[in-house]
Amino acid sequence: MRALLLLSFSLLWLPGCADTAPCPPLDQHATIQEVSGTDLSVRLPSGDLAVLHVANAQLYRRDPDGCLAITIEEITTGSNVAFHVDAWATSSPEQGWPTQVVVG
């Protein structure tokens, strides 16, 4: 009984066991070309380049059990991301300020 309790408590500290939450439903996708400070340079499915300003966004990594909160330092070039931008700033490249970004 004691061993079972210890095992139960130890599982709470494993990454992915207690920290996961359902991933937010996001409808836009891109591939990261570069990470610079709190900005993500991305390639959209159309082939166009865009910049996502994520300083105030909630960042997540997709996990088999849901999503884990991450920091900008954990985002790498070449990763696929899901996000939602309400309105793109018309510039070259386009710019957006998503509130949530899911990597993976």
Q: Where are the domains of the chain?
A: 20-103
d(CA 57, CA 72): 10
DSSP letter string over 20-89? -BPPP---EEEEEEEEETTEEEEE-TTS-EEEEE-TTSEEEEEETTEEEE--GGG--TT-EEEE--SS-B
For the entire predicted model, the pTM comes to 0.80
pLDDT tens digit sequence for 77-100: 999 999 999 999 999 999 999 999
pLDDT tens digit sequence for 34-68: 999 999 999 999 999 999 999 999 999 999 999 99
Burial class (CB in 10 A: 0-12, 13-18, 19+), 70: middle
Second-level CATH architecture of 20-103: Beta Barrel (2.40)
pLDDT tens digit sequence for 3-21: 443 344 444 444 444 478 8
